[in-house]
Structure formats: structure tokens, C-alpha cells
Structure 1
Amino acid sequence: MSTASKQHVEVVVIGGGQAGLSMSYVLQQAGLNHIVLEKNTILHGWKHERWDSFTLVTPNWQCDLPALPYDGDDPHGFMKGQELVAYLERFASKVNAPVREGVTVKQVVTDEQGLYHIATSDGDYTADQVVVSSGGYHIPVIPRMAERLPETVHQIHSAQYKHAAELPDGGVLVVGSGQSGAQIAEDLHLEGRQVFLATGDAPRVARFYRGKDVVEWLDDMGYYQISVNEHPLGSNVRQNTNHYVTGRDGGRDIDLRQFAIEGMELYGLMTGWDGTQLIFEPNLNHNLQSADDTYNNINTRIDAWIEKQGIETDIGPSVYRPVWQLPEERTRLNLADSGISTIIWCIGFRPEFSWLDAAVFNGQGHPKHERGVTLQPGLYFIGLPWLHTWGSGRFSGVRQDAEYLCERLVSYQQQRDASQQQAAAPLPA
């Protein structure tokens, strides 16, 4: 494979979000020549794929990006969307990464010498190593049944939602009760819209417990330092749905039962459409109870930690007791009679790595790796959920992941350079 017309760098980083920029920062410190390829603009998802009332669900002090840990005056608060974007722009300015924006990677292959060939919309490159930092949330998931729903129903994915006022008048069905679904349902509810929520198996967590943010308690307990290999679920934890909670208005619980008291209609898992009615599993009670059990279990573990450490608190242990009980399971909803004019699909994303020609993926299209290091020499991932710890896909753990990977890249580069020098050396006379 000819490399004559291709620009060569030691490392190509694919993706210009916080993970890619963090990787660039440590590579600069290590002196590795690299470029960052971003198909949109840097930090695109944070700037353009969040709703207007979005806030962090983790406290600001957990923002620990290289070169710029949280620099505001409210470490225990929760940055709103525009505040977060401003913080990330300051971070990007500090990093000053060699980014090439608007460049789509079309294909990545390796040759017999282990050299990477990267074909892009802006020319071709070669590299000794490649770091994929594009995350794992690429293709919005919308089920095929959406194609059969009436054209009069406005359908969007959670990544497209901005605010209630942009939606047609009428009720809104939110499908999915993970972090995005629960928070979007709350946003619509607070705006006075009639909300129908199709729940899933997402767990919930208290915002504050016994006088302190639950995140802070869990951090004290070492939860966020547990590696994926130490976790009881092992690598299966990567498939877990995040707990729903919010940082809105200073932070609070999200209690779907309370929403039901206030008029939100709750259903179980949505499974189909028969041409007239939406069909749901009769599992709403199970979903709510399971979420509440997780909520109480986490608080119980905090109670045990407080007792073990001999910590004195002004607030004693408590147990969440449901304020609303399900009268009966409803498995069908007539779409025309309901007044629903909009459906927001909040059921996640799927990965899309078809451009990467490497035997490092499992049957679901997720990369197989050990702390971001794959079995293919010179190929790495960063920014994935539970890459190493809970914080790997967030702002609290990406710095440690970048530093770890950088050590591997430096070592590999030294070995590769030494091998090439040896191969190019003249034979002894």
C-alpha cells in the first residue's frame, strides 16, 4: 500500500470531545506528534445536542479535566448548559489541540508493517498509532415501529429536543426513563405539558442524603475509584443504565411517583403499535419498585459507611416510602384519544464503528479492550462508559485514562521507532 501522498503523524486521535482533547493534552506533554480529527466542530455534542434546561447531574467538583479542573466558585453546584460549554471552551483553549474540524474519517486500516492508513473527507493520512475518542453514542436509537405511526405525530430523538415551546401543541409521549428521558419528562411537566412516560428499567438515586450530595458520599466510599475488573458485575456493568436524578435548580431527586400525583401518566415498557393503540408491558409497578429499591439500597450502604467511620450527621437514616401506588397496570393507550402530538424517543444510541477495520469488536459492535488498550497493536479507545472506572465516560475519570494511555503510546512508539531504525541500519561488512 503506497504512502507517498499521505501525510504521516505518529498518532491520529479521532474525535474532538473532552476525551479527544484530554488525549491531545497528554500527548503534547509527552512530545508525541499527533493530530485530532473531528467530523463536526470540537465539543459539538455539548454545544448542539442538549436541551435548553440541561444541567450536569454530577457536582462541579467532579470536573477534573487535564489542564483545567473546575475553576468556578460553586464546586458543589451543577453547571447549566451554557456554563458547561463556557468551561469546556476554556479547557479547549488551554489545550490548544492540533484539531482539524469538519473532517470525516471514512476508513482506518493497517498494512503488513502495522502502519495505520486513515482515509478522510480531507485527504489521507498514515499513523503509527490511532486513538478512537469518538465515544460510544453515535446512532440515535429509534425503533422500526416509529415508521408505522401516523405522519401527524411529530417524532424526535432526545438529542434533538431543545424546549417545550418548539413542539406542536398537545400531549407528549416520552419513551424511556433513563437520565435523558426522566429529565426531559420533568422539563415538559414543569412547562405545563401533558406528559405520558413509558418507563424502562433505569434505577434512581437520591440527590442528597443525610446532609450531603450522594455523589460525595459515594466518592468518600471509594465507589468512583473501583475499576471495571473490581466491580461485582465485571464488564457487564458497561451495559447498565445510569441512575436518574437531576442537578436542576440546585439539584433534587426525580420522583416519577410524585409526577403521577401531579398528572403525568406513567406506563410500562412500550412494545408495539397495532394501528390504533400503543402497547405497553404490564411492568410499570416493577419498574418503579426496582428503581425505589436501588434508591434505598444506596442510602443503606451510605448509612453503613457513616456508622463504620463514626461520622456524626445532623440527619439520621431514612427510607423512601412510595407516595403514589399504581392503581392498575395499563397496557394500551389509544393514540388519537390521548391527544398525543409528539413522541420523544429517549432510548439511547448505538455504536457505529464500521469505518474501523479491526478485529476488536464484540457481537454488539462494542470494542473489546483492557483499559482502552486493544489486542491490535497501536489501537486504543478513550471516553467510553466504564473504560476503566465509572468516571471514564465523564469528566471525573478521563484525565486518568488519558495519562494511562499516553504511557502505553509512548512505550509503543519507542519500540516501533527502535525496530524501524534497526531494520534500516546497514548490514555489517
Structure 2
Amino acid sequence: MNPTPTHHSVVIVGGGQAGLSLSYYLKQRGIDHLVVEKHDPVHAWRDQRWDSFCLVTPNWQCKLPDWEYRGPDPHGFMKKDEIIDYLEGFVKHVDAPLLDHCAVRRVVPTADGFSISTSRGEFTADQVAVCSGGYHVPVIPRLAERLPRDIVQLHSEQYRNPQALPEGAVLVVGNGQSGSQIAEDLHLAGRRVVLATGDAPRCARFYRGKDVVDWLAEMKYYDMPVDAHPLREGVRDNTNHYVTGRDGGRDIDLRRFAAEGMELYGLLVGLDGDVLRFAPDLAANLAHADAVYNGINASIDKYIAQNGIDAPPPSVYTPVWDVAQERERLGLREAGITSVIWCIGFQPDFSWLEVPVFNGRGHPGHRRGITAQPGLYFLGLPWLHTWGSGRFSGVARDAAHIAEAIEQRQGAVEAARARPAPAEALAA
């Protein structure tokens, strides 16, 4: 006979910064809950980031609940070990009711809540908050299956440092935040890099005397809710702008890398034998990134002018290198490529959540994390409410909002349980 499932008012799936932030606010409200984490709370930062990884937003934006950055360098960028220390401190600070190394296998709605099956037993809950993020399954194209077997292939989450790769040229596919930073890491180490680009945008690190993030915060961009953004929910599909906090922070300029010897190509579209095929769109990709860069700076110029702010003079980025000719083919052997790093992102996997709240691409429908399924919530997703929703800067605000919704519903659930049973039911 199966034991009776353990019941909690709320089960939080995911014990990273989002799940722990929600736990913090539920503890404040005295609401019984359990945080279920597949690995451990700092796993993603410790085990899925490369050695030279650092924040791309300044430290002052680290604003987890009652755990804001308090170090000596608020405008600096924490390195990997510092981020881990910051998060381990938050784990201790929250002291959540945590069940770690426990995989959630199935969540199903029931007549009075949810049934949750895990690798460590069965649970029931009145409400469930999904705080496991949206980056679950590494994207690797089927083309990868046809690459020569002696070529080492990694996804960006597996990359650690240049020394761990075999000698020879490295093909980096994708130039979003991870791809551009990994390409830079290899380039600075003296490795020969071939970078297959896409349409990722970029932004300046510093402009007119301040970090661009500081300007955008002052302009209230980070307070703009998703339904006020020009793209509305479409902004959730945008690729993050590439920039770096490395060595105190700087721009990432692929044109400069090209002038220094990095080989740039357009979008990788195919493989014929051992010959890679690329779209002839490198010039367009670089021009798009530069246009976004200059556009953001122009919006800062406008803000400075409108508010009469004393700041250094404006400037416009001009290319330091141009595409002489689009190259659409590259032989792997001819180029000496011995390793490939796939930096084209992740797909969500909520297959364990058997609730009809998803669209055709597997993304949940919600309004600021509250779904159409009573008692089901999401937290920590990109642009859940604002730009900072999936980051250290905004997850606390969203967690407080979800905690309030949970508290209101829990009150109604417990009030319903406390009502006397109907007379006809007692007579039966």
C-alpha cells in the first residue's frame, strides 16, 4: 500500500533565486510550504557557467529579498566565485524548507489542489509555484549529428575554459550573451576563433560618463511592465544584448575582434560533407547590432537633453572593420576546426506539468505569473513582468506579488475547509 502523500499548502518547484525569494515572502506570511529542488540551490551558477563568467549588470542590481549587494564595488561586476558566495549567503539567510536533490516527475490538478510525484515521494498541495526558470533543454541542431566524430562538441553550459579544449580552431555558433563572451574568452587566450553570428543586438557598457544600465534605470526602463513595452509579450522572445562585465566592464565589439584575427561568418545554415554553409548575412547582422547600440545611446542623449543633465558629449559608434565579402562556405579540415561550442540557447521543458496553460511553443500563459489554472503560478521567467523578472534585480518584486496572490487564495481555501458540511451530506 502506498503511504499517504505529504500535504503542504504550497509546493515551490525550483530552489534557485526565484524559488527562495518566494519562500522568503511565504515565511513572512506564515504560510506552510515546501521548496523542491532537482539539484541544489546554487547548482546552475556553480556547474553551468564557465570559469571567467561574471555578471553583465552592475552589482547594485543584485536585490534579492533583504539580501541586496552590500560589497565594496556596487558598480563592478561580480565574478563567478563571488556570485556563488552571494547566493550561498542568500540560501542561509532564507533558510527555506528545502527538499533538494529531488526531481519533480509529475504535477496534476485534483479536485482540491494538486498531486505532485517526485523522485523522493508523493505530495499534495493546495497551490503550486513553478520557479524552475525557462532554460531547461540545451538547443543543439540536428546538423551536429553529422559533424565528424573526432570534433569535440559542447553546449555553452558545458564550456569551462580554453585549456579544456583540444588544440586547433574553435567554431562558436551564436553570438548572444554566452556566445559573444565565450568567443571573447577564447580570443583573449590566443585561440583561433570562427564565430557564426545571428541577429543578436548589442549595447554599450559605458556612455556619457555612466554605465548604460545606470542610465536606463534612471530612465525607468527597468520599471516598464511587459504590457507597456512596444513589443508586448513578443519581447520575451528577444535575444539579450551582448556586453560584458569582464575586467571592470567593456563593450563587446565583434568588428574589433575581426580586425584582430577572429573569423566572422553569417548564420550557420548547413553542412555538406565537412564543409559548413553560412547565410550571406554577416554584414546585416553586424549592422543590426550597431544600430541597436546607437539607438540605445540616442535614447540616452534625448533623456539627457530633456532633463538638462550635465554629461560628457554624445558620440556615435562607427565601424572599425567592415565585411569585404560574404563568405558562405568553410571546410572544417581546411580551417583546422577541432571543437564546436553551441551557443544558441535553451528550450523550456514543462512536460511534467500536466496543466492546460501552455501555448504551442511550450511557454506558459500567465499575467504577471498568475495562470488561468487556480492556484498555479510561475516565477523567474524572462519578462514575467519587467526586464528584471528573470534576474537578481526584479525577481523579488515579482515574488512579493505572487506571495500576496497565494496568501489571498490560501485564505479562501482554508475558509472553505472550515465551513460545516451541508446537512444532507451529514445525514448521508
TM-score, normalization: structure 2? 0.98
3-state secondary structure, aligned to 2:172: strand
2:202 pairs with one of 201, 204, 215: 204
1:14 counterpart = 2:13:
yes
Report the equivalent of 2:255: 257
Report the equivalent of 1:298: 296
3-state secondary structure, aligned to 1:364: coil
The answer to whether the Cα contact below 8 Å between 1:109 and 1:358 also exists between their aligned partners in 2 is yes
* Counterpart Cα distance in 1 of 2:168 and 2:87: 36
Alignment of 1:268-347 (within 5 A): 268-313=266-311, 315-347=312-344
Kindly provide the amino acid, as one letter, of the partner of residue 271 in structure 1: V
* Counterpart Cα distance in 2 of 1:424 and 1:171: 73
* Counterpart Cα distance in 2 of 1:423 and 1:117: 25
Superposed CA offset, 1:296-323 (max 9, x none): 000000000000011001x101000000
1:115 pairs with one of 113, 116, 134: 113
The answer to whether the Cα contact below 8 Å between 1:60 and 1:76 also exists between their aligned partners in 2 is yes
Superposed CA offset, 1:378-413 (max 9, x none): 000000000000000000000000000001000000
Report the equivalent of 2:355: 358
Once the two structures are TM-superposed, the CA of residue 329 in structure 1 deviates from its matched residue by 0.2
2:167 pairs with one of 166, 169, 174: 169
Superposed CA offset, 1:217-245 (max 9, x none): 00000100000000000000000000000
Report the equivalent of 1:157: 155
Once the two structures are TM-superposed, the CA of residue 179 in structure 1 deviates from its matched residue by 0.1
Superposed CA offset, 1:273-332 (max 9, x none): 01120000000000000000000000000000000011001x101000000010100010
1:75 counterpart = 2:67:
no
Report the equivalent of 1:410: 407
* Counterpart Cα distance in 2 of 1:275 and 1:421: 70
C-alpha change, 1:311 and 1:84, in structure 2 (3 Å) is same
3-state secondary structure, aligned to 1:131: strand
3-state secondary structure, aligned to 1:9: strand
Superposed CA offset, 1:135-160 (max 9, x none): 00000000001001100100000000
* Counterpart Cα distance in 2 of 1:342 and 1:276: 13
1:242 pairs with one of 240, 263, 268: 240
The answer to whether the Cα contact below 8 Å between 1:383 and 1:398 also exists between their aligned partners in 2 is yes
* Counterpart Cα distance in 2 of 1:369 and 1:387: 8
Once the two structures are TM-superposed, the CA of residue 423 in structure 1 deviates from its matched residue by 5.2
Superposed CA offset, 1:93-146 (max 9, x none): 1000111111000000012x2320000000000000000000000000000010
More moved, 382-391 vs 62-71: 62-71
Kindly provide the amino acid, as one letter, of the partner of residue 44 in structure 2: G
Kindly provide the amino acid, as one letter, of the partner of residue 329 in structure 2: R
C-alpha change, 1:3 and 1:116, in structure 2 (3 Å) is farther
* Counterpart Cα distance in 2 of 1:424 and 1:185: 66
1:43 counterpart = 2:9:
no
Once the two structures are TM-superposed, the CA of residue 67 in structure 1 deviates from its matched residue by 2.1
1:129 counterpart = 2:157:
no
* Counterpart Cα distance in 1 of 2:279 and 2:299: 32
* Counterpart Cα distance in 1 of 2:339 and 2:415: 60
* Counterpart Cα distance in 1 of 2:219 and 2:94: 32
The answer to whether the Cα contact below 8 Å between 2:148 and 2:274 also exists between their aligned partners in 1 is no
* Counterpart Cα distance in 2 of 1:223 and 1:260: 32
Once the two structures are TM-superposed, the CA of residue 17 in structure 1 deviates from its matched residue by 0.6
* Counterpart Cα distance in 2 of 1:181 and 1:426: 66
Alignment of 1:133-152 (within 5 A): 133-152=131-150
Superposed CA offset, 1:338-380 (max 9, x none): 0000000000000000000000000000011000000000000
Kindly provide the amino acid, as one letter, of the partner of residue 268 in structure 1: G
* Counterpart Cα distance in 2 of 1:414 and 1:129: 12
Once the two structures are TM-superposed, the CA of residue 419 in structure 1 deviates from its matched residue by 1.4
1:376 pairs with one of 363, 373, 376: 373
Gaps of 5+ in 1: none
* Counterpart Cα distance in 2 of 1:425 and 1:44: 50
Report the equivalent of 1:396: 393
Report the equivalent of 1:421: 418
Kindly provide the amino acid, as one letter, of the partner of residue 219 in structure 2: M
Report the equivalent of 2:229: 231
3-state secondary structure, aligned to 1:352: coil
Once the two structures are TM-superposed, the CA of residue 425 in structure 1 deviates from its matched residue by 6.7
2:364 pairs with one of 357, 364, 367: 367
Report the equivalent of 2:33: 34
3-state secondary structure, aligned to 1:229: helix
3-state secondary structure, aligned to 2:46: helix
* Counterpart Cα distance in 1 of 2:109 and 2:420: 19
* Counterpart Cα distance in 2 of 1:159 and 1:415: 43
Kindly provide the amino acid, as one letter, of the partner of residue 414 in structure 2: D
Once the two structures are TM-superposed, the CA of residue 42 in structure 1 deviates from its matched residue by 1.1
The answer to whether the Cα contact below 8 Å between 1:24 and 1:97 also exists between their aligned partners in 2 is yes
The answer to whether the Cα contact below 8 Å between 1:67 and 1:95 also exists between their aligned partners in 2 is no
1:349 pairs with one of 333, 346, 352: 346
* Counterpart Cα distance in 1 of 2:61 and 2:4: 44
